[in-house]
Every structure is written in structure tokens, then in C-alpha cells.
């Protein structure tokens, strides 16, 4: 097994209508089912947390790939969407859309950076083959 670089730990009680806190106390959230799922809202949920985490990780991966290619990708932003879908057999699955904005880089080079980031991002590697991930650049599929 490879050397572990970092391990995040958290404690959750109550599931989607509960509470979550990281061991270091930096994230302390009330979890609530969204109104769209029959909940009361008023808190965050696993899909929102996943959307933020994936986008942040992907942006870091994109910056690493840009550095390797000697490109300046300092004006990056990512809009992420994580959807919860029924599988039809009583289960659920996720689908993700990552819409990357790279205004300082030409489209062809930006597409290559996004594709490269998708190969090195830990979230992309964890979801590959399990979650449908759609990559967009400026709202356009790549």
C-alpha cells in the first residue's frame, strides 16, 4: 500500500437529519434533507458537501497539471452539481457535472488541462466507473 499523505476523520450522528463534525472541529454542520426530498432544509447535505469537495479537489488537480505543462491557470473557477438519482431497484446513485472556467487559456489547451485533471484528481479516480461525471468547459461539453 502507498504511503498515506493525509486522513480526514469525522463523526456523524442522525444521518441526513443529523449532525456532522470533523475531528479538528473545522467543519461542524447540521445535516438536513433538502425540501426537494421531503425534508425541512435548513442545513447542508451529503450531495452539497460532495459538490464542494469534488470541485475544490478538481481545481487543485487542474493547477498541478497546468504547472507540469508550464501554463498559467490562475483564473480558474468550477461550478459543480451533484445529483442524486434512483437506480430503479430501491437504491440510489450519483451523477456529477463539473463546469470549468479557464478564461486565461485558449480552448484547446484548456480542454487538455481539464482532461488531465480528470486523470489525476482523487475524486475523479474514486468515482471513475461508478459515477457519471460530465466535464464542461465554459458550459460546453468537452
1-44 has CATH 1.20.140.10 classification: no
pLDDT score of 112 more than 90: yes
Q: What pLDDT is attached to residue 74?
A: 85
pLDDT score of 1 more than 90: no
Instruction: Give mean pLDDT, residues 127-135.
Output: 97
| Residue reference for cell 450531495 | 47
DSSP secondary structure, 89-121, as one string:
SS-EEEEEEEEEE-TTS-HHHHHHHHHHHHHH-
pLDDT score of 109 more than 90: yes
Kindly report, residue by residue over 11-54, the tens digit of the pLDDT.
Answer: 999 999 999 999 999 999 999 999 999 999 999 999 999 999 99
**Secondary element (H or E) of residue 79:** strand 77-86
Find out whether 41 and 35 touch, Cβ atoms under 8 Å: yes
Q: Considering the entire predicted model, what is its pTM?
A: 0.94
Residue among 78, 83, 82 nearest 139 (CA): 78
pLDDT score of 4 more than 90: yes
Q: What pLDDT is attached to residue 73?
A: 87
The domain locations on the chain are 1-44, 46-141
Q: What pLDDT is attached to residue 58?
A: 98
For the domain 46-141, what is the CATH code?
3.30.300.20
Kindly report, residue by residue over 51-85, the tens digit of the pLDDT.
Answer: 999 999 999 999 999 999 999 888 999 999 999 99
Amino acid at each position: 500500500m502507498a504511503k498515506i499523505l493525509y486522513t480526514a476523520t469525522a463523526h456523524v450522528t442522525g444521518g441526513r437529519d443529523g449532525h456532522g463534525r470533523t475531528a479538528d472541529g473545522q467543519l461542524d454542520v447540521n445535516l438536513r434533507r433538502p425540501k426537494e426530498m421531503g425534508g425541512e432544509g435548513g442545513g447542508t447535505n451529503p450531495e452539497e458537501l460532495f459538490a464542494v469537495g469534488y470541485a475544490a479537489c478538481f481545481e487543485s488537480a487542474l493547477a498541478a497539471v497546468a504547472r507540469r505543462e508550464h501554463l498559467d491557470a490562475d483564473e480558474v473557477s468550477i461550478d459543480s452539481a451533484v445529483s442524486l438519482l434512483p437506480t430503479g431497484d430501491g437504491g440510489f446513485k450519483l451523477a456529477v457535472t463539473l463546469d470549468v472556467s479557464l478564461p486565461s487559456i485558449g480552448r484547446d489547451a484548456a480542454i487538455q488541462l481539464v482532461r488531465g485533471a480528470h486523470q489525476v484528481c482523487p475524486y475523479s479516480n474514486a468515482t471513475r466507473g461508478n459515477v457519471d461525471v460530465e466535464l464542461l468547459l465554459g458550459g460546453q461539453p468537452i
